[in-house]
Amino acid sequence: MEHESPHREVDAASQPRRYTKPRRIAVLTAGGDAPGMNAAIRAVVRIGAAAGIEVLGSLRGFEGLVYGNFKDLGGRAVANIIQRGGTVLETSRAGEFRTAAGRARAAENLRYRGVEALVVIGGDGALQGSAAFADEIGINVMFVPASIDNDVPGTDYAIGFDTAVNTALQAIDRIRDTAFAYERVFIVEVMGRDSGFIALEVALGGGAEAVVVPEFDINVDDLCVRIEQSQLRGKRSSIIVVSEGPRTGGALAIAGAVKQRLGVEPRVVVLGHIQRGGAPTARDRLLASRMGAAAVQGITDGHPPALIGEKRGQIVYSPLGEMVGEPRRLDPDLFKLVEVLAT
Amino acid sequence: MEHESPHREVDAASQPRRYTKPRRIAVLTAGGDAPGMNAAIRAVVRIGAAAGIEVLGSLRGFEGLVYGNFKDLGGRAVANIIQRGGTVLETSRAGEFRTAAGRARAAENLRYRGVEALVVIGGDGALQGSAAFADEIGINVMFVPASIDNDVPGTDYAIGFDTAVNTALQAIDRIRDTAFAYERVFIVEVMGRDSGFIALEVALGGGAEAVVVPEFDINVDDLCVRIEQSQLRGKRSSIIVVSEGPRTGGALAIAGAVKQRLGVEPRVVVLGHIQRGGAPTARDRLLASRMGAAAVQGITDGHPPALIGEKRGQIVYSPLGEMVGEPRRLDPDLFKLVEVLAT
Amino acid sequence: MEHESPHREVDAASQPRRYTKPRRIAVLTAGGDAPGMNAAIRAVVRIGAAAGIEVLGSLRGFEGLVYGNFKDLGGRAVANIIQRGGTVLETSRAGEFRTAAGRARAAENLRYRGVEALVVIGGDGALQGSAAFADEIGINVMFVPASIDNDVPGTDYAIGFDTAVNTALQAIDRIRDTAFAYERVFIVEVMGRDSGFIALEVALGGGAEAVVVPEFDINVDDLCVRIEQSQLRGKRSSIIVVSEGPRTGGALAIAGAVKQRLGVEPRVVVLGHIQRGGAPTARDRLLASRMGAAAVQGITDGHPPALIGEKRGQIVYSPLGEMVGEPRRLDPDLFKLVEVLAT
Amino acid sequence: MEHESPHREVDAASQPRRYTKPRRIAVLTAGGDAPGMNAAIRAVVRIGAAAGIEVLGSLRGFEGLVYGNFKDLGGRAVANIIQRGGTVLETSRAGEFRTAAGRARAAENLRYRGVEALVVIGGDGALQGSAAFADEIGINVMFVPASIDNDVPGTDYAIGFDTAVNTALQAIDRIRDTAFAYERVFIVEVMGRDSGFIALEVALGGGAEAVVVPEFDINVDDLCVRIEQSQLRGKRSSIIVVSEGPRTGGALAIAGAVKQRLGVEPRVVVLGHIQRGGAPTARDRLLASRMGAAAVQGITDGHPPALIGEKRGQIVYSPLGEMVGEPRRLDPDLFKLVEVLAT
């Protein structure tokens, strides 16, 4: 990754400049929390302060906009938070903000306080609301992707993903200690209902025998054959990593199928919410700091509503409206690599 | 804890000395693996070597005795293992060893190799087999308690417990990040089917609102009242720690009851097998080193079959046969402390 | 460790009861910070609240007493701090409080606010000032020992010690990875200017070849002979753990002596301040919670000024004045165990 | 980062194909060890096995080539090593291999064993020797960059860098706990004698007040002004991150200058060798797995001697000879970001 100055994917010249540098902006965190959100908030506040912009924090995500629940964020308000998981601005389900009436009320609350632009830090769910808000209300919105599932379009990495993968990997390392001590098949379920990014990186990093993700079909017979072959080659234990959710069936379904075919009772481990918390990794703190800075810079530059992304190591701005619904693809080569390396 | 020279709870003078210093002993790990087992193996081998005793490792627990599957353990064989989770000697279900025929075969295999005493590192399940073996065969057995559940009698702490508690606590800390970001009730299930040691220490250390253990009854209505009161006092989130197993019902049962009464859907996290692995803590490495050393010393001193324990900071030897079935009690004061501190 | 109800080492009946249950107390943290101080503050506040006692926090240790810098600590003020290193009440050098004039001013500030008793959480340095204050002013003082060096008399363990040992041990584990990859002698300096508790436990837990502590003399020639012998036995690398400070000479002095005799250049690692921070371990959180609770209980029971200790797993109260200058002894058996286990 | 199939920066068509798919290759680790080296070895062995290629491990780096010290690496030989720091093949200074005579002897040893290609996993120092060897002997060499300093040309990231940064960051987080508790200036020295990659990422991720790296001059007067201003804004503590070595002067020199100007005694922490060890992060395991796989693929494709790099998320092959001495540049924008975010 080379760190270059922000590059705009859209041709700025072709866009009518509608936005000017504001004196006051707001920042909020929406949807499921992700490690690194605090680092992003800190960057927005500090870069804002350096640019002479006041920053308000909307509490509990969009709910704070709807009910006028704001907090002044001076530089000291974000001291000593860069290393903390969760979000000091708290978060909640969008609720009222999903309705046009709720969004109108949010707009009034912002106008009343003289807030001229908004930074939203959130996942795929918050993206749609942010785009609708920018479109309906005409307020400038910069969207910073934060999602442990890494399922936000327009960026290679969302804030929180690297931390979640490392947390899950440490869990796999612990399980491996036991797996080596005892003859066992372990089925480990990780987060990622609609995307296998966590599962794939955890499987590769954890040296798993196989990975089951929503994006690619897997034949359970093949999976069982692979487990048997690996045991014939002398492996005492096998670890299978599975993404949660109905598309894979989750760990329990896979375990049931394996038991039926192989006659062994696999141990099931569902990692669950531990993947969401914890101190962010270096990579997530850096990504959050750079994206938070780019969001404020986008606003001061008068850039139209955008999703801030990191693509091939560079910060890019993508038009916010066009990003909604964009699919994210998993690398099939990495998927195959799991199998070859487990051999 | 003061570290004194080993004290014998039994009056050595009243016991006929049947055992003499052997030239060769065996060591094995039995039952579920626990972090620190490797540190104990290392201590047995190194202290044995210093006393001029050869040490054989029986592979896969008692199975190695029954099938004559041994490995020479010189000093270098245990280099660089003190920090590793799991057990380099592997483990397995007792299987054949549960039968008198299996134990007789094990005795023959030991006699054939000139093994005169045995160190068993294991949990409550292995204790019974060890006592039966010492009694039937007349071989000296020193039992070193290793169990993440801490459910072995005759000792305040078993090897692996401190590591398991710290691992679970780190998971709670991660969950708390998210709990603070989002209004939620979390029910976290930890290990300990028959004993609430892990749950109690994790609840105290994690600042949980309540703890549910097999030893004490809990009224779910009271639990729900406590959650409601804590939310009235301004807490956005509650964490309830529950021991696994039928006696508490586990996290899912508690979650169901809470949902029915409070109408909120608690998040359930089952920590599972991650509590079993990982590098042992300082305390577990020390305990394992001291207990492994005491086991060899017990053998060289001609001490009759014993369970090595740490009580009030001191190493003590308890007669092996008398320990089987001894109950372990949970401290009711600590149990109450959880509630007061959560206020 | 059995958790029993607090036991008084002094005979309560022989002491005139001078103290009655107060309505308001203060708590402070003094001297070097230690992980678990926040857990102790939390316990004092919560147990105080449950007993109907208001708790004030004196900021920056004794400095807050002298300058009247207090903070109301309601139950919510200590939410979400049990897992944090450092101290939310901050700390500082005693300064003015070392003078009789300063202590008189502190007493006035306490009387002005109706503070009737004081809980001091600190190390050996703060102990003397606390005893002098209790003696001069006639205020009840409960002293809770917190010191990563574990150099406070009247207790087997001080708060923060277990965390510091585990932090140092994780550093040793990392160094061992490199030591095994590359032929090297490592000299690792840990904290403990006047006491070798950290060094001893780290050396045992880290599988070090030798340990140098202030309490026991070591012959550098013997040390070099041991390194040479261990390399003859096939060890590629050696790790020597050394307590900091003039009594051992520190890592650099030992490294110089080793280089002169063996002709190899040892790598020196000074762990330093990383040993002081970080989330407290389970053991430190428990110890802090129990000691904080016992401090408030001591006050409500009208117990005279005392140092709260944990001895052989039990909470004990020792007369505060008698504890100043009491020596702490290192276990010589553990010291010898390092050498035998390294063989 | 998008994971695409390997892309060749050099135009393969313009190069004469001199290399054919070998039946036997060797792999070695050279120079300072880095976390992830084992994951790279595992990938080379496993991908080799899948391609029908036997893999020999040369022990202790180039020393194994010179003295014919090899080890057969079947698939099981690399089981359970992906999560381990250090290198199972060990490493050492190049020694004899630096001479033409040594390299000739190495070539003979390889020919004698039928080794037709070589994978070298190492840092900037090993690069030169590898290029010379490929050039002189005509053997195909694939170079996999592994260096915690990240100072290898031809790649954005070298194996081990991400782990080292995260290790240093965890240390900073611990120091920050103490820094907040106590008024202090901390100067923290990290690795990177000739390059400030670690220092820069650690400073950004740790929220440091300033960073001193070899690449950019810093005025100590400005640094002191910045510390003073940050304290005027209410910060109790400051953390300055400094790269080791003569170009910055290291932490001690900076501390001396700060003391002279500000009159306060900064605390110095030298992180040292703990940055080199530990379990690799997810990112390092993935990078190592992909690079190890690409090295074998390069060999089977008959690709001429190359350095395997990851640039903008893609695996690229750069001509080995051309990479020696290529400079690596630090991003000046990130350098400035430290200052703005610390405001």
For residue B290, the distance in angstroms to the closest alpha carbon of chain C comes to 8
Identify whether residues C43 and C150 lie together within a single domain. Answer: yes
**Residue B78 belongs to domain with CATH number:** 3.40.50.450
Using an 8 Å CB-CB cutoff, list chain B residues near A37.
181
Residue B174 belongs to a domain = yes
Using an 8 Å CB-CB cutoff, list chain D residues near C236.
90
| Chain D residue with Cα closest to A309 | D1
Asked if C293 and B337 come within 8 Å (Cβ–Cβ), the reply is yes
Please name the helix (run of DSSP H) or strand (run of DSSP E) that holds residue C125, with its range, or none.
Answer: helix C124-137
**Mean pLDDT of all residues in chain C?**
91
The number of residues making up chain C comes to: 343
Q: In the listed set C276, C291, C315, which residue is the last one of a domain according to the structure?
A: C276
Identify whether residues C50 and C142 lie together within a single domain. Answer: yes
Radius of gyration for the alpha carbons in chain C, expressed in angstroms and rounded:
22
CA torsion angle for A268, A270, A271, A272 (degrees, to 10)? 180
Q: In the listed set A276, A311, A338, which residue is the last one of a domain according to the structure?
A: A276
How far is B97 from B327, CA to CA, in rounded Å? 24
Hey, which residues of C are catalytic here? 149
Please name the helix (run of DSSP H) or strand (run of DSSP E) that holds residue D64, with its range, or none.
Answer: helix D62-67
Maximum Cα–Cα distance for chain B, whole Å? 71
- CB–CB contacts below 8 A, A to D: 147
**Residue D243 belongs to domain with CATH number:** 3.40.50.460
Asked if B180 and A90 come within 8 Å (Cβ–Cβ), the reply is yes
pLDDT in tens, A174-212: 999 888 887 789 999 999 999 999 999 999 999 999 999
Looking up tokens 């709807």, which residue turns up? A66
Using an 8 Å CB-CB cutoff, list chain A residues near D328.
none
Residue A177 belongs to a domain = yes
Task: Tell which residue, C120, C205, C218, has the closest CA to residue C164.
Answer: C205
How far is B58 from B121, CA to CA, in rounded Å? 11
Triad B19, B21, B22: Cα angle to 5°: 100
Side chain identity at D234, as an amino acid letter? G
How far is C172 from C269, CA to CA, in rounded Å? 10
Residues 6+ apart with CB under 8 A from C69: C58, C59, C60, C63
Identify whether residues D271 and D301 lie together within a single domain. Answer: no
For position D1, what pLDDT does the model report?
Answer: 34
Side chain identity at A326, as an amino acid letter? E
Regions of chain B where pLDDT drops below 70: 1-19
How far is A107 from C78, CA to CA, in rounded Å? 36
A181: nearest CB among B33, B180, B271? B33
By a Cβ cutoff of 8 Å, what residues of chain A touch chain B? 29, 32-33, 35, 37, 84-87, 90-92, 167, 171, 173-178, 180-183, 186, 236, 267-274, 276-278
Asked if A206 and D79 come within 8 Å (Cβ–Cβ), the reply is no
Distances (CA, A) of C174 to A305, B43, C171, D169: 46, 22, 5, 15
For position A18, what pLDDT does the model report?
Answer: 58
| Chain D residue with Cα closest to C186 | D273
What percentage of chain D exceeds 70 in pLDDT? 94
Q: How many domains does one find in chain C?
A: 2
Residue A329 belongs to a domain = no
pLDDT in tens, D49-104: 999 999 999 999 999 999 999 999 987 899 999 999 999 999 988 789 999 999 99
How far is B319 from B197, CA to CA, in rounded Å? 24
Asked if C180 and D90 come within 8 Å (Cβ–Cβ), the reply is yes
Q: In the listed set B259, B276, B293, which residue is the last one of a domain according to the structure?
A: B276
For position C8, what pLDDT does the model report?
Answer: 43
For position D8, what pLDDT does the model report?
Answer: 42
Identify whether residues A130 and A77 lie together within a single domain. Answer: yes
Asked if D337 and A176 come within 8 Å (Cβ–Cβ), the reply is no
| Chain C residue with Cα closest to B209 | C79
How far is A177 from A164, CA to CA, in rounded Å? 20
**For helices A332-342 and A220-232, angle between their N-to-C axes, nearest 10 degrees:** 30
Using an 8 Å CB-CB cutoff, list chain B residues near A178.
33, 85-86, 273, 276-277
How far is C53 from C71, CA to CA, in rounded Å? 15
Please name the helix (run of DSSP H) or strand (run of DSSP E) that holds residue A72, with its range, or none.
Answer: strand A70-72
Partnered with residue A212 across adjacent β-strands are A242
Hey, which residues of D are catalytic here? 149
Residues 6+ apart with CB under 8 A from D167: C174, D271, D274, D275, D278
Residue A340 belongs to a domain = no
- CB–CB contacts below 8 A, C to D: 110
Residue A18 belongs to a domain = yes
CB crowding B254-291: b at 16 or more within 10 Å, else e: bbebbeeebebebbbbbbbbbbbbbbbbbbbbbbbbbb
Identify whether residues C222 and C133 lie together within a single domain. Answer: no
Which DSSP string do the residues of D277-318 spell out, in sequence order?
A: -SPPPHHHHHHHHHHHHHHHHHHHTT--SEEEEEETTEEEEE
Identify whether residues D136 and D284 lie together within a single domain. Answer: yes
Partnered with residue B268 across adjacent β-strands are B187
Rounded to 5 degrees, φ, ψ at B43 are -65, -45
Q: Which of B174, B187, B238 to mutate to test the interface with A (most CBs of A within 10 A)?
A: B174
Catalytic-role residue among A11, A72, A135, A149: A149
C182: nearest CB among D91, D182, D274? D91
For residue D32, the distance in angstroms to the closest alpha carbon of chain C comes to 8
Identify whether residues C143 and C289 lie together within a single domain. Answer: yes
Asked if A277 and B178 come within 8 Å (Cβ–Cβ), the reply is yes
DSSP 8-state symbol, D248? T
For position A71, what pLDDT does the model report?
Answer: 96
Report ipTM for this prediction: 0.92
Side chain identity at A338, as an amino acid letter? V
Task: Tell which residue, B278, B316, B314, B281, has the closest CA to residue B298.
Answer: B316
| Chain D residue with Cα closest to A167 | D282
For position C226, what pLDDT does the model report?
Answer: 87
What percentage of chain A exceeds 70 in pLDDT? 94
Classify residue A217 as exposed, middle or buried by CB count within 10 Å of its CB (0-12, 13-18, 19+): exposed
Distances (CA, A) of A201 to A192, A213, B107, D66: 12, 11, 48, 38
Residue D1 belongs to a domain = no
Classify residue D277 as exposed, middle or buried by CB count within 10 Å of its CB (0-12, 13-18, 19+): buried
Classify residue C234 as exposed, middle or buried by CB count within 10 Å of its CB (0-12, 13-18, 19+): exposed
Identify whether residues D17 and D134 lie together within a single domain. Answer: yes
Cα atoms found within 13 Å of the Cα of residue B35, Cβ hemisphere only: 31
Using an 8 Å CB-CB cutoff, list chain A residues near B277.
173-178
pLDDT in tens, D28-57: 999 899 999 999 999 999 999 999 999 999
What percentage of chain B exceeds 90 in pLDDT? 78
The number of residues making up chain A comes to: 343
Q: Backbone dihedral region of A36: left (phi > 0), alpha (psi from -120 to 50 degrees) or beta?
A: left
Identify whether residues A152 and A211 lie together within a single domain. Answer: no
Asked if B274 and A171 come within 8 Å (Cβ–Cβ), the reply is yes
Residues 6+ apart with CB under 8 A from A99: none
B176: nearest CB among A175, A182, A277? A277
Asked if D181 and C87 come within 8 Å (Cβ–Cβ), the reply is yes
Partnered with residue D119 across adjacent β-strands are D27, D142
For position B13, what pLDDT does the model report?
Answer: 43
Asked if A180 and B274 come within 8 Å (Cβ–Cβ), the reply is no
Regions of chain C where pLDDT drops below 70: 1-19
Residues 6+ apart with CB under 8 A from D99: none
Hey, which residues of B are catalytic here? 149
**Mean pLDDT of all residues in chain D?**
91
Identify whether residues A44 and A16 lie together within a single domain. Answer: yes
Higher pLDDT: A231 or A112? It is A112
For position B94, what pLDDT does the model report?
Answer: 74
Q: Hey, how many other C-beta atoms are within 10 angstroms of the C-beta on C219?
A: 8
How far is A299 from A305, CA to CA, in rounded Å? 9
pLDDT in tens, D290-337: 999 999 999 999 999 999 999 999 999 999 999 888 888 999 999 999
Classify residue A218 as exposed, middle or buried by CB count within 10 Å of its CB (0-12, 13-18, 19+): middle
Radius of gyration for the alpha carbons in chain A, expressed in angstroms and rounded:
22
Asked if C46 and B201 come within 8 Å (Cβ–Cβ), the reply is no
Looking up tokens 């880290």, which residue turns up? C206
Asked if A33 and B182 come within 8 Å (Cβ–Cβ), the reply is yes
Residue B328 belongs to a domain = no
Higher pLDDT: B343 or A52? It is A52
Which chains does D contact via 3+ CB–CB distances below 8 A?
A, C
Q: Strand D70-72's sheet: what is its strand order? A: D7-8, D314-319, D306-311, D140-145, D117-122, D24-30, D54-58, D70-72
Rounded to 5 degrees, φ, ψ at C207 are 65, 35
Specify whether the CB–CB gap between D302 and D20 falls below 8 A: yes
Specify whether the CB–CB gap between A120 and A126 falls below 8 A: yes
For position C220, what pLDDT does the model report?
Answer: 87
Q: Which pLDDT band, with edges at 50, 70 and 90, does A264 fall under?
A: confident
Distance between terminal CA atoms of chain C? 31
Specify whether the CB–CB gap between A261 and D140 falls below 8 A: no
Which contacts qualify for C259-268: CB closer than 8 Å, 24 or more apart?
A: C261/C220, C261/C221, C261/C224, C262/C185, C262/C224, C262/C227, C262/C228, C264/C185, C266/C184, C266/C185, C266/C186, C266/C187, C266/C240, C267/C184, C267/C185, C267/C186, C267/C187, C267/D272, C267/D273, C268/C186, C268/C187, C268/C189, C268/D272
Using an 8 Å CB-CB cutoff, list chain C residues near B201.
282, 286
Residues 6+ apart with CB under 8 A from B285: B36, B39, B82, B83, C169, C204, C205
Instruction: Pull the structure tokens for residue B326.
Output: 């001894």
Print the domain residue range for C67: 7-160+280-323
Q: Which of C147, C182, C185, C265 to mutate to test the interface with D (most CBs of D within 10 A)?
A: C182
Side chain identity at C192, as an amino acid letter? G
Asked if A177 and B35 come within 8 Å (Cβ–Cβ), the reply is yes
Identify whether residues C105 and C224 lie together within a single domain. Answer: no
Q: Strand B237-243's sheet: what is its strand order? A: B210-212, B237-243, B184-190, B267-270
Task: Tell which residue, A189, A172, A185, has the closest CA to residue A265.
Answer: A185
Q: Which pLDDT band, with edges at 50, 70 and 90, does A20 fall under?
A: confident
B90: nearest CB among A173, A181, A270? A181
Identify whether residues A54 and A143 lie together within a single domain. Answer: yes
Using an 8 Å CB-CB cutoff, list chain B residues near A277.
173-178
Residue C210 belongs to a domain = yes
By a Cβ cutoff of 8 Å, what residues of chain D touch chain C? 29, 32-33, 35, 37, 84-87, 90-92, 167, 171, 173-178, 180-183, 186, 236, 267-278
For residue D112, the distance in angstroms to the closest alpha carbon of chain A comes to 29
For position C2, what pLDDT does the model report?
Answer: 37
Asked if C341 and B42 come within 8 Å (Cβ–Cβ), the reply is yes
Distance of CA C99 to the CA centre of its chain: 24
Which chains does C contact via 3+ CB–CB distances below 8 A?
B, D
